[in-house]
Amino acid sequence: MNTDGYNIDVNYSYGYYRELSPLAFKISCLIRGIKPPKISSACELGYGNGISINVHSSASSVKWWGTDFNPSHANFANQFASVAENESKIYEDSFLDFLHQKDLPDFDFIGLHGIYSWVDKKNRGYLCDFIERKLRVGGGVYISYNVLPGFLELLPFRNVLKNYADFMLPESKSTISKLNDSLEFFEQLANVDATFIAKNEALKSQVQQMKDLDRSYLAHEFMNKSWEIMDFLQIHKELSRSKINFAFPAHFKSMWQHMIYTDSQKKLLDGIDNIYFQEYIKDLINNNRFRKDYWIKGAQPLSEAEQKKLLEEIRVVLIEPREKIDFSFELSAAGIGQTFNLQKELYGTFLDILSDYQPKTIAEIQQNANGKLDNFKQVIEVVTVLDIKGVLHYAQPDEEVSLAINKTHRLNFEILQKAKSKGEISVLASALLGEGIQVNRLEQLALLSILEGKKTSKEYIEFIWETLKSQNQKIIKKGEVIESEEDNIKEIEALVRDFEKKLPILKNLKILRGI
């Protein structure tokens, strides 16, 4: 298979991307006042190891298709799909071959995470053709991509890595080996005071941060033959051939960043009446290097009455212990970070109503607030802020939960089994949410111990430590290996204390039967 310079000898990292969730897209549409499509079929192009496609296929009734031309990715993703019995259709086709598959339906939602920046112009054309031909009118697209000007600082760094690999290393070396050798050479270059490094503090800072990142991610990011970084307007021009238009960023932070902009920046942005040029200017002001956006084919606005009715019906649920949620709100924009204090009466009332960790509609929350949450716009602001803080998610209808619970159990049980030896997958599927929830490896082992009949904190701790010890593994904290058994057990004890506070929430999120 022709992969057009894309690395297939390196498996991608095991990340989960919530923005690929159809429910997340639906809620984003409603809060922005756009009519969301009814999503019954979805597709992920370049699914990596298939964590997101399997989580979303297992945790909802949406039927998923996807392709990734790395056969190892396809094999791994298919194994999970088979175990979960989620009926997702996993292919290993090129984008062109996938476009010509005869059994593909039209889709209500298509997702591409990162891949658009990592393939050449020809393949980007195939991706655009696929979206044009296979996306239904009214359907949505999620695309994340590197963007100028922020990534411009890393262009010389990437070129040194790639050129050293191409000119100085044998082709027979694996991509990861080439990456490691190239990184070592870049260090040598920095140590001889190469001027372009010595005078570029931003580059030095970013490269330093890169050192701790997963090598498989770095290989996909910097060692592909194709690596074209564009600005937002260039992306818009390419995607316009697919008959889709930019709708809004795939996060709610953009709704609040005006609070950090200076008066002159606000005035400049307010004077721009073209949404595309305004987004481009925001990237320049913020020095953005990565974007996550939703695009829609034929977006239709909701009236205020329609929007309010639909928002009143959405169900929300807390995913963090109530006592751990503070009243601060951190934002960053234009290179500036700022912390805001939230209104305790407003947010406290909202959080207290949800403190039983059961899903409630916005209308129910207002009814139980004794007049403290009568301002509907204020309530929606609370929802978006708590979403940004990562403490609130949205719940599916009960009938959807019932359809998903067996699939999520099978998928999650397989992930727990893998946690015995490795901690690569840090997400479990939630039948309540229709998407994934972050659960780290040690928490997964604690859940597994419960499924195996353990009932006390002491038993959880012993199970976790014996599992690690049998693999000659130890806890790593802040990049340092904890050596002694006593200190390892102390860390596990602290984790189990937090886990037990989180356990009632995990039960309500319906991730496993028997928990």
CB atoms within 10 A of CB 305: 8
C-alpha 333/C-alpha 256 separation (Å) is 10
pLDDT at residue number 447 = 98
Q: How, if at all, do strands 392-395 and 360-361 pair?
A: unpaired
211: left (phi > 0), else alpha (psi -120 to 50), else beta? alpha
CATH 3.40.50.150 in the chain, residues?
18-148+229-256+284-296
DSSP summary character for residue 375: -
C-alpha 39/C-alpha 44 separation (Å) is 14
Do 20 and 112 meet the contact criterion of CB atoms below 8 Å apart? no
pLDDT at residue number 99 = 95
Beta strands, E only, 13-155: 41-45, 63-67, 89-91, 107-113, 135-146
Radius of gyration (Cα) for the chain, nearest Å? 24
Superfamily for the 18-148+229-256+284-296 domain: Vaccinia Virus protein VP39 (3.40.50.150)
Do 301 and 34 meet the contact criterion of CB atoms below 8 Å apart? yes
Tell me if residue 5 falls in helix, strand or coil. Answer: coil
**In what helix (H) or strand (E) does residue 41 lie, and over which residues does it extend?**
strand 41-45
C-alpha 217/C-alpha 17 separation (Å) is 14
pTM for this prediction: 0.92
Question: 411 forms bridges with which residues in the sheet?
Answer: none
Collect all residues with Cβ–Cβ distance below 8 Å to 167 and sequence separation of at least 6: none
pLDDT at residue number 228 = 82
DSSP summary character for residue 34: B
DSSP summary character for residue 238: H
pLDDT at residue number 1 = 42
C-alpha 92/C-alpha 78 separation (Å) is 10
End-to-end CA distance of the chain: 45
- Give the mean pLDDT per block of 10 residues along the chain (515 residues): 47 84 98 98 96 98 96 95 98 96 96 92 96 98 95 87 92 88 89 85 77 79 83 98 97 91 95 97 94 98 98 98 94 83 97 97 97 95 97 97 97 96 93 97 97 95 94 84 91 95 96 91
* CA atoms within a 13 Å half-sphere pointing along the CA-CB vector of 150: 20
